[in-house]
A and B are shown apart, each in its own frame.
Chain A
Amino acid sequence: MTVHPKKSPRENIAALRSDRRVYFTNTGPRDTGQSDFKNRHTLYDLIRLAPFYNRSGYFSIENHGGARFHQNLLQNMTDPFEEAILWKERMPDVMTQTLVRSTNLWGYRMYPRNVIRLSVKAFLPTVDVWRCFDFLNYVPNMIPIAEEVMKGGKLFQPAISFGVSQDCTDAYYRKLTDEILKVTGGTNEIILCIKDMAGVGSPKRVARLTDVLLQKYPDLVIQYHRHATDGLAVPALAAAAKAGVKILDVTDDPFTRYYGHAPVRSVQALLQEMGIATSLDLPMADKAAETVTGFIGHYREFESQFHGFSYKVTEHRMPGGAFPSSFEQAAKGGFLSLMPQILRGMSNGNRFIKYFDVTPGSQITWTTWAGIVQYHYKEGGLKQVEDLLDLCERFIAQGQSFDALKPEEKESLLGLYARATDDLKNLLLGRYGPLPFGWPADWVYQSVFGDAWREKVARERFEESPLAQKPDEDVERARTELQKGIARHPTENELVLYMQHPGAAVDFIRFQTRFGNTTVLPTGIWFDGLKEFGSEAVFETHGKPNRIKLVSIGQDVDGVKHIVLSVNSTMHVFPVEMPSRKAAQKAGPRFADPAVPGRVASPIMGNVWRIGDKDRILKIGDIVKEGEEIMNIEAMKVETAVLSPMHGVIKEIAVKLNEAVVEKQLLMVLEDVPPEERKGSRTRSKNSRKAR
């Protein structure tokens, strides 16, 4: 007896129980793609894995949900529905899986029950396994999703957010499991997932937790989800299987990097050596791996700025899924060099306010500490940051007591959360639900809300489920808004997209109206277009072959380039408005005065397509080294690097991205670096070298 998407959840759970083999879930298309490649894999590439996945003996393929949903609308320009349908069609014999963030589903806010119902129902036909976690481990938040999924005949998989703090005891998780089984109907109805989203569970810890849960519920089917960040994923997964976990989260070997999941063949080999049989079909798994190897090179630029495992994750607990996006944000914001301090801050912060670092908690942690560290860095340089972090650590070492602190140190700590984001405030006011290990200490509230914090808490803090009090959303109003946005009647599916991500959904639908479904395009064409004259985009639509050939690229005339393509043997001219058009319409260019040092001039006439180098986008206030690439100008398909003439700080960027520039036009104004910032800039340059 094996698992199959056509069987009922009960039948599949029974099949798993009676099967002595261990199963795998392949997280490649979703979670691994998110954790190590910013969810940039194209559907064109991923879907080529479907025929192999279909026959690899996997329990499920996680192809849906999490941040990929948003990323699909935002930058992949892929319809989450189309993606889900295609997977289902091409993999009829293996279960598809999504990840929902309890009441946030695939979005970033708490949805009322009617939106949850609408959204879950829309994806029920194409998604078989519904993994659901809550960053507060607050079970009432999961109930509306559980109801819809189970009513729809699909497998509900509640996840317990796993951590390694002193609060995350066996007793805590046993009690949590009691509660989950109580509301979901027991061990015949669900599979329980231990969600180790940061990758911190030691082999022993995971084995013991599995044992504790199986002692109490011998029939419970447990799945272990684990990221690889600490470097211990393979042994931890093996230990879990030995302790009785039935399903392990893994991915194809060539998908594996650092923040995603363990390589399936390594895990399988270790299990085999331990005498544990698996359901994996090895030749099929190898074919999938070959396919991944074939396309993975397209995504090099989306891999994280930092490569390598990090055992420190056991302290700062940043989840694998948040790693690359955080680094990217830091790189774009010009504070990549402060990452060590931010991570150190997070290691302290999770002792003050206790919840699990996974969406939306991970975003709250990230914005809070990126904000604190940057603020202090700007105010007093790296020293002030380090002093603050030292103080936090001392405070923790002293049992979080103010007694041994000097008055100015106390003041400093009370100012820690002075610039708290609304999300953090909402968290502390119980708007997401009660915190798993109680509300934080009074000083935290004082720091966030100021002197009037007591009244604020008394008046506004929810002590019960916030979802219960959330009124239904006006779906018809949303429909009208969307209709206005896209100038036609939206479909029900489009409405579901809009409910999750209003702005991104409207932009996405407009994109599709203008450009159609671009997921049929080969990945190279999708990212870079046609580069050589005579080169072709060859792809199929509805089984019909198409050939689009590049015939010519016109000169940029008044901000418009004419591209001539041979579209299925018919010539077409496409005028493309260049982003420089508006800029070009303005008054003439400013020229750099060569007599003034720090005035960077354009060496050629062309288009500014990058401000910074391939690792760092520059902005005003950033520090650059002499000889460092600070801009790149493209002319006639040739890229010309503009190098910094000095070690300096950027005072002005005189051009915009994609602006057309002429020779000698002023690009940037640099000034000498003030002495107090010199130390910081050295740290930065070291880090960015490492990232290369």
Chain B
Amino acid sequence: MPDSKTKMIQKLFIANRGEIACRTIRTCRELGIRAVVGYSDCDALSYHVKIADEAVHLGPSPVKLSYMDIGKVVDAARRTGCEAVFPGYGFLSENAEFAQACRSAGLIFIGPTSDVIARMGDKIATKKALADAGVPIIPGLPRLKSADEIVAFGKEAGWPIIIKAVAGGGGRGMQRVDSADQAKSALERAVSIAEKLFGSGEVYAEKYIRGARHIEFQFIADAFGRVVHLGDRECSIQRRHQKLVEEAPSSLLDDRLRNEMGQVVVKAAKEIGYVTAGTLEFLVAPDRRYYAIEVNPRIQVEHTVTEMIVGLDIIRLMIRMAVGTPLRLRQEEIRIASHAIQCRVNAEDPKNDFAPSYGTVTYLRQVSGPFVRADSGIYQGCEVPPFYDSLVSKICSVGKDRPTAIERMRRALSEFTVWGIKTTIPLLEKIMVHPDFVEGRFDTDFIDDHLSGLLDYVEDEDEILKISRFIAEVTALGKNPYSQ
């Protein structure tokens, strides 16, 4: 039920596109908020535009000229009379300047303060803040200057060491150093990539945790210092640090560890001064020691699995927290008695080194049926443009336990049909039947370690589509060229 405070928002500007824009529009509709979206040239006929209440043209297709142009986005929100802006993930979601620009323009920014965003965007600052809040962090070297420092650190903490960009994220540009003699070249590479990708050559080093799992905690905080966590998510199934499968809860954590980590998360969020929803990401070593790695001050792609098992709409909570509604939820009320899995359907060709695959979706059969949820940004006939994130659809399944959720996910994937673009569906289907995945034996290297087997699938193009192609060819030529 919308409370009096959320009534402050009549119109919300969604500064995003694709599935997350569509997903946010749905919450807006439930709350009676009019949803306004922006769109670039190539997105004129995109799904988020179609289902929004109102849309504003932002500019040309490249992100810098449209979705990431702060001036244009803020202007669009104001011109359409919106009271608030929801940034989604990616684009301007972790841009402190954007959050500030919104607030300066009198718009409610649905997310933490620009100060928190700025701090969480700086990995060194994040680590310091986390360490100050008593969260275990990975041993590391801040503000790395020379290869000698790496060598000394490697000797002390043990190889391998990983070098990351201070301004980076999403695992891009990371360099692994396995021994002292690799230190110099890896550092040079890391600096040069960081400069290219993030505009700053500043890098830092951390101990590389072997066999680690990527487990994160979702938390929600109001403006009055109340914080609850919504449990953990397992995100170890990833490729080049891009998550592909997420689930909740993690099969690695027991209740004691889950509670302990949850308390750490809540304490940290409080100390950081966090408002709305966020995520604290950990690496959990095989010995179950855990190390915080970063805070995501925004909605996450995989928030869905948490929603499925706790029964809460996280975006609705974010809107409420942003307008200053106090959090009435108590930690004891968060009960988790089911298991959810999410698969990311990306417009990529896994067999071609995951190259983006764009074009027209010529046929689409969406997932439906009991215990599954589909968050999708595509429709039959739409164009998947080459300019943006390749995520086109997220499939969630839920069950009383993990095996049930896996069975339902297999069923959902087998029904999901997309023609016209290549997708990760066949790869996801392989993961869902892989014995190591099924038995919960995996770490963040799972996909790399099993890649050749996971790619050993035959593209299951629809038989009728193939036959239709044949009929088209014979019809065009006037005669069967194969039977001549």
Query: Which A residues are closer than 8 A to B by beta carbons?
Result: 40, 75-77, 488-489, 511, 514-518, 520-521, 525-531, 537, 541, 546, 548, 550, 553, 561, 563, 565, 567-568, 570, 572-574, 576, 578-579, 607, 609, 634, 637, 658
Contacts and interface: CB of A to CB of B under 8 A. Distances in A.
B359 to A, nearest CB: 12
Nearest to A564: B472
A517 to B, nearest CB: 7
Interface of B: 362-363, 380, 456, 458, 461, 463-484
Contacts of B472: 529, 563, 565, 574, 576
Contacts of B465: 516, 567, 572
16 contacts: A489-B456, A515-B466, A516-B461, A516-B464, A527-B480, A528-B479, A529-B473, A530-B475, A548-B471, A565-B472, A567-B363, A574-B476, A578-B476, A609-B477, A609-B479, A658-B477
A520 B471 CA distance: 12
Q: Which residue among B362, B363, B461, B476 has the maximum number of chain A CB atoms within 10 Å of its CB?
A: B476
Contact of A526 (B461, B469, B483): B483
Of B362, B472, B474, chain A has the most CB atoms within 10 Å of the CB of B472
Given A541-B464, A546-B464, A527 B469 contact: no
Contacts of A526: 474, 480, 483
Across the A-B interface, give the 3 residue pairs with the lowest CB-CB distance, nearest first: A516-B466, A529-B474, A574-B472
A576 B477 contact: yes
B463 A516 contact: yes
Contact of A576 (B473, B482, B483): B473
Given A514-B466, A572-B362, A572-B363, A537 B471 contact: yes
Which residue among B458, B461, B468, B480 has the maximum number of chain A CB atoms within 10 Å of its CB? Answer: B468
Contacts, number: 113
A573 B98 CA distance: 43
A415 B483 CA distance: 39
Contacts of A658: 477, 481
Contacts of A607: 478
Contacts of B469: 514-515, 574
A40 B483 CA distance: 8
Nearest to A573: B362
Contacts of B456: 489
Nearest to A576: B476
Given A546-B467, A548-B468, A550-B475, 4 more contacts: A514-B469, A521-B467, A528-B479, A658-B481
B483 A609 contact: no
Nearest to A71: B483
B468 A609 contact: no
Contacts of B478: 528-529, 607, 609, 634, 637
Contacts of B484: 75
A570 B380 CA distance: 10
A46 to B, nearest CB: 15
Looking at chain A's contact residues, the main secondary structure is mixed
B480 A578 contact: no
A273 to B, nearest CB: 42
A517 B458 CA distance: 15
Contact of B482 (A77, A488, A530, A609): A77
Contacts of A609: 477-479
B165 to A, nearest CB: 38
A609 B461 CA distance: 31
A545 to B, nearest CB: 11
A548 B467 contact: yes
Contact of B471 (A529, A561, A578, A579): A529
Nearest to A531: B475
A578 B477 contact: yes
B149 to A, nearest CB: 48
Contact of B475 (A77, A518, A529, A570): A529
A557 to B, nearest CB: 12
A19 to B, nearest CB: 42
Nearest to B467: A516
A567 B362 CA distance: 11
Contacts of B458: 488
B475 A567 contact: no
A570 B420 CA distance: 14
Contacts of A40: 483
Contacts of A537: 471
Contacts of B476: 529, 553, 561, 563, 574, 576, 578
A531 B466 CA distance: 19
A391 B330 CA distance: 111
A491 B484 CA distance: 28
Contacts of B362: 572-573
A635 to B, nearest CB: 11
Contact of A528 (B380, B461, B464, B480): B480
Name which of A515, A526, A578, A637 has the most chain B CB atoms within 10 A of its CB: A515
A578 B465 CA distance: 19
A537 B463 CA distance: 15
A516 B470 contact: yes
Given A520-B467, A541-B464, A567-B464, A75 B483 contact: yes
Nearest to A546: B464
A585 B400 CA distance: 61
Nearest to B463: A516
A576 B362 CA distance: 16
Contacts of A572: 362-363, 465, 468
Contacts of A520: 467
Contacts of B464: 516, 541, 546, 548, 567-568
A576 B474 CA distance: 9
Contacts of A546: 464, 467
Given A563-B475, A572-B363, A574-B473, A515 B467 contact: yes
Contacts of A550: 475
Contacts of A578: 476-477
A51 B466 CA distance: 29
A553 B468 contact: no
A76 B475 contact: no
A528 B478 CA distance: 6
A573 B469 CA distance: 9
Nearest to B482: A77
> Which of B475, B478, B480, B482 has its CB near the most chain A CB atoms (within 10 A)?
B475
B483 A525 contact: no
A386 to B, nearest CB: 35
Contacts of A530: 471, 475
A634 to B, nearest CB: 6
Contacts of B480: 526-529
B426 to A, nearest CB: 12
A531 to B, nearest CB: 8
A303 to B, nearest CB: 15
Nearest to B381: A571
B380, B467, B474, B480 pick with most chain A CB within 10 angstroms: B467
Contacts of A548: 464, 467-468, 471
B468 A567 contact: yes
B410 to A, nearest CB: 20
Contacts of B475: 529-531, 550, 553, 563
Nearest to B473: A576
> Which of B363, B470, B473, B481 is packed against the most chain A CB atoms within 10 Å?
B470
A488 B470 CA distance: 22
A511 B482 contact: yes
Contacts of A568: 464
Which residue, of B469, B471, B474, has the highest number of chain A Cβ atoms within 10 A? Answer: B471
Contacts of A527: 474, 479-480, 483
B477 to A, nearest CB: 7
A488 B452 CA distance: 12
A331 to B, nearest CB: 13
A76 B474 CA distance: 14
A548 B475 CA distance: 12
Contacts of B471: 521, 525, 529-530, 537, 548, 565
A511 B482 CA distance: 9
A109 to B, nearest CB: 24
